[in-house]
Structure 1
Amino acid sequence: MLWIPIDRSSAIPLNRQVYQQIREKILSGELQAGVRLASTRELSTELNVSRNVILEAYDQLLAEGFLVAQRGSGTFVAEGASLTRTDPSHEIQKVNHKYAENGIINFRSGIPALDLFPRKIWAKLSHQLWNDSESTNLGYDLPEGRLELRQTLAYYLKRTRGVHCHPEQIIITSGATQAMTLVSRLLLSPNDIAIMEDPITNDIQTIFTSSGATIYPIPVDEDGMKTALLPKNIVPKFIFLTPSHQFPLGGTLPIQRRIQLVQYARNQHCYLIEDDYDSEFRFEGLPISSLQGLDPEHVLYIGSFSKILSPALRIGYIVLPTHLIEKCRQLKWFTDLHTPSLEQLILARFINEGYLERHIGKMKKFYKRQRDFLIQCLHTAFSTNIKILGYSTGMHLVAEFKDIHFSQEILLKIEQFGVKVYPVENHAITKGNYHNRIIIGYGHLKQEEIEKGVERLLQALNSIVR
């Protein structure tokens, strides 16, 4: 007889519980091909459930091919329905990892304060849109995105970031990640060369190298990419950089270097890819004007609303030179047809009615308080043993420590003390220059978590030194 525990307090219906457990036993090989199952009457009596519960479970398993019924003989496990797991501990590892995060203060960068997302306003606009929207808005849409949002963005970006474009130059994407993937497919082929800041986000490196291209790294300093080191003897497809807030070191590219980049792109007949990372949250002065505004025909400008509002929205965009528009539209169509339409319309209203700029103003004040509190905690804990870098913009800073080498062993030791930090070295293309620097994100943490996290980091490093 099958041993199938029944949980009558569960929200999962009884027939679904029976179905799932028999299915799992067949997949794992515990019930092998040819084994005869108990009759529906026998199993319902054994489990003390209605016979209809068992009938429905068996019918589903028969429909999916896990069971076969032979008239007059019974119900049997079908051939070829088991699946050998490549890693039997996989599910256990996933569960353990989930619970391992509990209690750990995670200084991960790039996560906004999600509890401050303007839910009521967004819900109000969403409700209005669903009530007012024509049925045509529920159908397939244009790959480049809704005209309403592209018109809104063209005006907003010109006014706030100095971006010169018309709505036709904008392609709406599912976040900045899809925008970069489209750029890779648009411009790169195997053996092409792409110049990139070093260090730069590891994920972005992976996106561009997956095309078969080679990365040529240019180191950064406190002012961003060292443009004097741009090579004259190669012709790259593009130069990728984060000029308004270099990730992860935090520099802002001065106008002299921006002009050098534009002149280089013109001379080498290549493009500049401007990732406008975190530019809205600049704590000293106004946001720096975009690189795109200097030369719209040589710059592809990428932005998203993941940091400003929420990663869950999955809305980003590319501003393209005019001669790349049609090819990029086709690539977007082949990728996913279009980005969800109704979210675009809600966002367009959110911007047009002034809510976005009010939200950014509110969040700048909040993140500045968070940043100042974190810097105070770090100075109190580590005094002269620490140097703080890249704190003028965004939701993270970089801490440089004297005589600390953040190896994998030390990072695991720190995590044992209940705090997680991220080494700059993980994002370096040329390894070996940033072993004593870590990235500390603060946007998503409460001040008591920041204080406790710094205390735990101090305890961990003290134990390592001892």
Structure 2
Amino acid sequence: MLWIPIDRALDIPLNRQIYQQIREKILSGQLQAGEKLVSTRELSVELKVSRNVILEAYDQLLAEGFLIARRGAGTFVAEGTLLPQQTKPLITNKAGDPIVGKEVVNLRSGIPALDLFPRKTWARISNQLWHDSESSILGYGVPEGRIELRRTLAHYLLRTRGVECHPEQIIITSGATQAMMLVSRLLLSSNDIAIMEDPITNDIQTIFKASGATIYPVPVDDFGMKTSLLPDNIDPKLVFLTPSHQFPLGSTLPIQRRIQLIEYARKNHCFLIEDDYDSEFRYEGPPVSSLQGLDPELVLYIGSFSKILSPALRIGYIILPTQLTEKCRQLKWFTDLHTPSLDQLILSRFIQEGYMERHITKMKKFYKSQRDFLIQCLQSTFSHNIKIFGYSTGMHLVAEFEKIDFTRNLLVKIEQFGVKVYPVEDHTIKKGKYNNRLIIGYGHLQKHEIELGITRLFQAIYH
């Protein structure tokens, strides 16, 4: 007889409880292939439930292939239904005790302070749109995005970032990742060459490599991409960079190098890809204008609202040279037809009514306070054994630790001490230059978490 405990107090229907337990017994091997199950009548008597409940559970298992029915013989466990469960290794600390119940401080970069998202304002605008808008907003949209948002963005980006474009040059995307993918498919084919900063986000390298292209790395220094090292003996299709806030090292590309890049792209008939991922949060000096503003027909400008507002919105955009807009619209249509319309309309009104700039001003004060506290913690904890880079903009900085090599073993040990860190080396193309540097994010953390994370990091390194 099957041992199947059921609980009538649960919200889960009885037939679903019975189905789930028999399914688990089959997958784990407690019920083996070829084994005959008790009849539905017997099981209904045993469990004191309606026979129809048992029939529904058996029918679901038959439909999914877990069981087979043989006329006149009964119901049997089907072949090929055993799935052994893998056990995950238990992480332990130096003394060998598990870190059970110990919350890991995650120093990941790029996560905003989600608890400060302007929920009430966003909800109010959303309610207004639901109440006031025509039913057409619930229909299919155009692949390039709502014209309301594209017009708003064209005006907003010209005023705040020096981006020059017409709304027709803007394609609204489902985040920056989709924007990167569209650019890759738009400009690259197998065996093409894409020049990139080194280091640069590992995810971006993966996206562009997926096209079959070869990545040609150009190193960066304290002023961004070393444009003097741009190659003359190759035929690149694009140059990818983060000029306003180099990721991960944090430098800003000066005008002399920007001009060199423009001249290089003109000479080699290639495009420049400007990833402007978080330059709104600048704490030292005046705002930096976009590279795109120097030559709008040569630069593809990519932005998103994941860092400014929330990654959950999944709204990004590409600003394209006019010659590429129609092809990019077609690619966007093939990808997902269109980005959700209502979120675009909410965002458009959020920007138009001044809430975006007020939110950015508020968050700059908050992130600057978090950054200053992190620097204080690093300097007081590690003293002269540390150098700090890339702290003028964004939600992360880079720390260089004297005579420390962040090997895989050390990274595992650090996590065992209850803090998760991210090496610069993970984002390099040519390996070996930044083994002693970590990317430390602070946007999503409270001050006590920052202090705890840095304390644990010190203990892990020097214990």
List runs of 5+ in structure 1 lacking aligned partners. none
What is the deviation of 1:28? Answer: 5.1
Residues 68 and 457 of structure 1: CA distance in aligned 2, closer, same or farther (over 3 Å): closer
What is the deviation of 1:64? Answer: 3.9
Q: What is the root-mean-square deviation in Å for CA atoms of aligned residues?
A: 2.1
1:236-269 CA-partner distances (Å, limit 9, x unpaired): 0000000000000000001111011001100100
What is the deviation of 1:30? Answer: 4.6
Which residue in 2 is equivalent to 1:46?
Answer: 46
Which residue in 2 is equivalent to 1:121?
Answer: 121
Q: Is the aligned partner of 1:157 residue 2:171?
A: no
| Residue identity opposite 2:283 in structure 1 | F
1:98-132 CA-partner distances (Å, limit 9, x unpaired): x9795111101111111111111111111222222
| Residue identity opposite 1:198 in structure 2 | D
Which residue in 1 is equivalent to 2:311?
Answer: 311
Which residue in 2 is equivalent to 1:414?
Answer: 414
Which residue in 1 is equivalent to 2:95?
Answer: none
Which residue in 1 is equivalent to 2:374?
Answer: 374
Which residue in 1 is equivalent to 2:423?
Answer: 423
Alignment of 1:67-82 (within 5 A): 67-69=67-69, 73-77=73-77, 79=78, 82=80
Distance in 1 between residues matched to 2:445 and 2:363, nearest whole Å: 13
Which moved further from structure 2: 14-23 or 443-452? 14-23
Which residue in 1 is equivalent to 2:384?
Answer: 384
State whether residues 302 and 316 of structure 1, in contact with CA within 8 Å, keep that contact through their aligned partners in structure 2: yes
Which residue in 2 is equivalent to 1:354?
Answer: 354
Secondary structure at the residue paired with 1:250?
coil
Secondary structure at the residue paired with 2:274?
strand
Which residue in 2 is equivalent to 1:88?
Answer: 85
| Residue identity opposite 2:174 in structure 1 | S
Q: Is the aligned partner of 1:404 residue 2:404?
A: yes
State whether residues 246 and 277 of structure 1, in contact with CA within 8 Å, keep that contact through their aligned partners in structure 2: no
Alignment of 1:89-104 (within 5 A): 89=86, 92-93=87-88, 103-104=103-104
Residues 71 and 436 of structure 1: CA distance in aligned 2, closer, same or farther (over 3 Å): closer
Distance in 2 between residues matched to 1:101 and 1:276, nearest whole Å: 39
Secondary structure at the residue paired with 1:434?
coil
Which residue in 2 is equivalent to 1:60?
Answer: 60
Residues 68 and 420 of structure 1: CA distance in aligned 2, closer, same or farther (over 3 Å): closer
| Residue identity opposite 2:278 in structure 1 | D
| Residue identity opposite 1:149 in structure 2 | L
| Residue identity opposite 1:302 in structure 2 | I
Distance in 1 between residues matched to 2:101 and 2:264, nearest whole Å: 46
Secondary structure at the residue paired with 1:93?
coil
Residues 211 and 162 of structure 1: CA distance in aligned 2, closer, same or farther (over 3 Å): same
Which moved further from structure 2: 61-70 or 398-407? 61-70
What is the deviation of 1:43? Answer: 1.2
Distance in 2 between residues matched to 1:47 and 1:310, nearest whole Å: 49
Distance in 2 between residues matched to 1:226 and 1:84, nearest whole Å: 56
List runs of 5+ in structure 2 lacking aligned partners. 93-98
Residues 222 and 100 of structure 1: CA distance in aligned 2, closer, same or farther (over 3 Å): farther
1:188-233 CA-partner distances (Å, limit 9, x unpaired): 1111110000000011011111111111101101111011111111
Q: Is the aligned partner of 1:141 residue 2:136?
A: no
Distance in 1 between residues matched to 2:89 and 2:186, nearest whole Å: 36
| Residue identity opposite 2:177 in structure 1 | T
Alignment of 1:229-248 (within 5 A): 229-248=229-248
State whether residues 279 and 394 of structure 2, in contact with CA within 8 Å, keep that contact through their aligned partners in structure 1: yes
What is the deviation of 1:55? Answer: 2.8
Distance in 1 between residues matched to 2:90 and 2:163, nearest whole Å: 46
1:325-357 CA-partner distances (Å, limit 9, x unpaired): 111111111111111111111111111111111
Distance in 2 between residues matched to 1:45 and 1:310, nearest whole Å: 54
State whether residues 28 and 85 of structure 2, in contact with CA within 8 Å, keep that contact through their aligned partners in structure 1: no
Secondary structure at the residue paired with 1:245?
coil
1:362-384 CA-partner distances (Å, limit 9, x unpaired): 10000000000000111111111
Distance in 2 between residues matched to 1:224 and 1:53, nearest whole Å: 67
| Residue identity opposite 1:111 in structure 2 | I
Q: Is the aligned partner of 1:461 residue 2:461?
A: yes
What is the deviation of 1:21? Answer: 2.2
Distance in 2 between residues matched to 1:420 and 1:294, nearest whole Å: 40
Which residue in 2 is equivalent to 1:254?
Answer: 254
Secondary structure at the residue paired with 2:88?
helix
Secondary structure at the residue paired with 2:300?
strand
Which residue in 1 is equivalent to 2:224?
Answer: 224
State whether residues 109 and 441 of structure 1, in contact with CA within 8 Å, keep that contact through their aligned partners in structure 2: yes
Distance in 1 between residues matched to 2:206 and 2:255, nearest whole Å: 29
1:165-199 CA-partner distances (Å, limit 9, x unpaired): 11111111111001001111111111111000000
Which residue in 2 is equivalent to 1:274?
Answer: 274
What is the deviation of 1:96? Answer: 8.7
State whether residues 301 and 318 of structure 2, in contact with CA within 8 Å, keep that contact through their aligned partners in structure 1: yes
Distance in 1 between residues matched to 2:9 and 2:385, nearest whole Å: 56
Secondary structure at the residue paired with 1:217?
strand
Residues 178 and 382 of structure 1: CA distance in aligned 2, closer, same or farther (over 3 Å): same
What is the deviation of 1:459? Answer: 1.3
What is the deviation of 1:84? Answer: 5.1
What is the deviation of 1:234? Answer: 1.1
State whether residues 32 and 82 of structure 2, in contact with CA within 8 Å, keep that contact through their aligned partners in structure 1: no
Residues 385 and 190 of structure 1: CA distance in aligned 2, closer, same or farther (over 3 Å): same
Which moved further from structure 2: 63-72 or 319-328? 63-72
Residues 312 and 252 of structure 1: CA distance in aligned 2, closer, same or farther (over 3 Å): same
Q: Is the aligned partner of 1:290 residue 2:287?
A: no
Secondary structure at the residue paired with 1:388?
strand
What is the deviation of 1:10? Answer: 3.5
Residues 274 and 95 of structure 1: CA distance in aligned 2, closer, same or farther (over 3 Å): farther
Alignment of 1:9-24 (within 5 A): 9-24=9-24
Residues 390 and 100 of structure 1: CA distance in aligned 2, closer, same or farther (over 3 Å): farther
Residues 372 and 297 of structure 1: CA distance in aligned 2, closer, same or farther (over 3 Å): same
| Residue identity opposite 1:314 in structure 2 | R
What is the deviation of 1:436? Answer: 0.8
| Residue identity opposite 1:93 in structure 2 | K
| Residue identity opposite 1:193 in structure 2 | I
Q: Percent identity?
A: 76
